[in-house]
Structure 1
Amino acid sequence: MTRLILLGTCSALFFSSTFVLNRAMSLQGGHWIWTASLRYFYMFFMLGLWLALTGKSRLLKDVFTAFRSNWCFWTVAGSTGFGVFYALLTFSASFAPGWVVATTWQSTILATPLVLLLFGKRVPMRGVFYTVLIFIGIVLVTLEQAAAASLRETVLGILPVLVAAFAYPLGNQLIWEARHGKIVRIPEASTAVLDDSAARVLIMVLGSLPLWAVLILFVHPPPPSAGQLVNTAMVAVFSGVLATTLFYKARHLAKTPFELSAVDATQSMEVVFSLLGEIAFLGGAWPGAAGGVGIVLSLLGLVLYVRSQTLAE
């Protein structure tokens, strides 16, 4: 369990770059479509190149073979877990500070048990009280944001994140079920592909590409700036490759619903990392009393939640 928590926390550190850099690109006028889609285009080439250069060309071929065999499933999984999730996060960055988006994002901890129930998993009730603490923290942060912004900015900065919080664990659970092959409606995928962290991420990236193409054609955003090209490349490396690979590795090592929930819970550390990053690099202000209490409650809920799961093992 300790190893899983450490891997999850390290992934949260790299994931936090997403909120800081997305906010930076929004403040610079970059369109959210490019902020979202370029990350995955970069990841596609980076991961493919990584597999080729590390002597895993056969595995790279297996990824495309597995995708072609069940392209419908992987398009749904990738578009949900990577596409819908990240499109909504980048959209929200245009209306709310990064630390607000990061705190609201912790609602994924509340969403994960519901997703597990959807897949017929037994979800422990002993962590409910601690997830309620996290939820109260999110509410306090939301109230502070509402006081400092218009109703439109508050809704568009927070509501899409709540939807994204369900899309991400849903996509992750689909790939977990494909690996273990216990649900008849979900096709069992190649063990070789899903046993490799980079290959697991790559096949989900492949599944998300059709959604990005549709969004670009539908929205017709203006061309990305040079700064946006650089920043999205940084997000692709830190968050898309390093963070996602670490997070998927932790989830892959998880054997029970308890461990899966604990890994997902470590992502609350993104709040602290995002807040510090925004203050250090974007000149962001420290949160007020309500926001500060909200962050503390969210982190306290995380610590107690993980502790309860560890003691139960």
Structure 2
Amino acid sequence: MQANQKLKAIGMGVVASVFFCSTYVLNSFISVGNGHWAWTVALRTLFLLLILLGILQYKNQLKPLLHTLKQQPKVWVFWGSIWFGLIYVLLTAAASFGPGWLIAGVFQFTIVAGILLSPFLYKDGRAKIPVRALLLSILILAGIALMQWSQRNGTYTDAQLLICIVLVLLAAVIWPLANRKMLLFVEEQGYELNSMQRVAGTAIGSLPVLFMLMGFGYTEAGLPGNSQLLAVFAISLSSGVIGTILFFKATHLARTHSAALAAVEATQSIEILATVIGEVLLLGIAWPSLTGNVGMFLITAGLILYSIPARKKVLSTV
């Protein structure tokens, strides 16, 4: 993998992470407004799918995708249900038990989870854990921990925060597993699908779960309000369309290099910085203390080390 490809993939990951943060900020906004989590999960993906289908139809890429889906529909339904169903159920439900900054921070466990899953997913050189990349990921997680510590003693009880953390940790392990399994599936089957087609195919596969969630949301809370509809649409466009496609493109570029792939996944740590800024501006939370600022510095330092492809001692596997 060439150095400029590594840098491009990492840059895409950073930009994607900024768009991803809308999920945490707006989920908190919806939760404060008593919007039901099942409607949020289902509508988020439904809005995303409608947008993608329109774009793919315009680019004449929808028919090839549908043809591909017909060949092995069970795989798309399974991973679609996991990706756009289970993961977002966990993250959205967590917003009822903790603030967005905590969810964004704990979710960064995906950085380490993705690395540790490699030996169980690959049979080639990617199966080897890049130890130096793992150490840099731990540095980033240390920064995240400091940011979280700086925000303790908030309005949530210890029990609520514990439930929030458990829900997000589950999502943080499932996220890289689902992403890498879908990458492997497309790679092994030889499907010629771009990032947008892959996102749309996974979303189509999730439709059975989405309909069940909408039914559950209706029985529990009736129809969603206008504010929830608007917020969910913003999440779909920002995080679902722009963020997800950019992140998929980044992981596609880095798919053959385990350390570079780990670096791309590590760019998700930017989400916590963007989420704090978003919650300060939109929800009025306090800016992190000195401890929190030290955490931000550690995160930034880890990302800088990741983003220098010329330093093989940083990005190479051991």
Whether contact under 8 Å (2:109, 2:141) holds in the other structure is yes
| Deviation readout 1:165-209 (Å, 9 max, x if unpaired) | 11111111012102221xxxxxx1521xx2x22111100111222
2:308 and 2:292 map into 1 onto residues whose CA distance is: 24
Q: What residue is the counterpart of 2:174 in the other structure? A: 167
Counterpart residue identity of residue 134, structure 2: V
Task: Please tell me the root mean square deviation across aligned C-alpha atoms, in Å.
Answer: 2.1
> Alpha carbons of 1:277 and 1:230: their partners in 2 closer, same or farther (altered >3 Å)?
same
| Deviation readout 1:225-272 (Å, 9 max, x if unpaired) | 111111111111111011111111111111311221111111111111
Whether 1:131 aligns to 2:130 is: no
Bigger CA drift: 300-309 or 205-214?
Answer: 300-309
Q: What residue is the counterpart of 1:179 in the other structure? A: 186
Whether 1:274 aligns to 2:279 is: no
| Deviation readout 1:38-66 (Å, 9 max, x if unpaired) | 11001111111111123x1xx31222222
The size of the alignment, in residue pairs, is: 301
Whether contact under 8 Å (1:15, 1:239) holds in the other structure is yes
2:273 and 2:148 map into 1 onto residues whose CA distance is: 16
> Alpha carbons of 1:89 and 1:99: their partners in 2 closer, same or farther (altered >3 Å)?
same
1:30 and 1:157 map into 2 onto residues whose CA distance is: 17
Q: CA deviation at 1:211?
A: 2.2
| Deviation readout 1:125-163 (Å, 9 max, x if unpaired) | 112322222333344445455533312211122211111
Q: Matched residues, percent identical? A: 35
Q: What residue is the counterpart of 2:247 in the other structure? A: 247
Partner of 2:204: helix, strand, or coil? helix
1:159 and 1:307 map into 2 onto residues whose CA distance is: 34
Q: Which of 18, 27, 41 is the matching residue for 2:23?
A: 18
Unaligned runs of 5+ in 1: 182-187
2:150 and 2:162 map into 1 onto residues whose CA distance is: 13
Whether contact under 8 Å (2:133, 2:259) holds in the other structure is no
Partner of 1:108: helix, strand, or coil? helix
TM-score, normalised via structure 2 length = 0.87
Whether contact under 8 Å (1:82, 1:171) holds in the other structure is no
Q: What residue is the counterpart of 2:107 in the other structure? A: 105
Whether contact under 8 Å (1:103, 1:295) holds in the other structure is no
TM-score, normalised via structure 1 length = 0.88
Whether contact under 8 Å (1:259, 1:309) holds in the other structure is no
Counterparts in 2 of 1:134-213, with a 5 A limit?
Answer: 134-144=140-150, 147-148=153-154, 149-181=156-188, 188=189, 190-191=191-192, 194=193, 196-213=194-211
Q: CA deviation at 1:280?
A: 1.0
Whether contact under 8 Å (1:262, 1:309) holds in the other structure is no
Q: What residue is the counterpart of 2:3 in the other structure? A: none
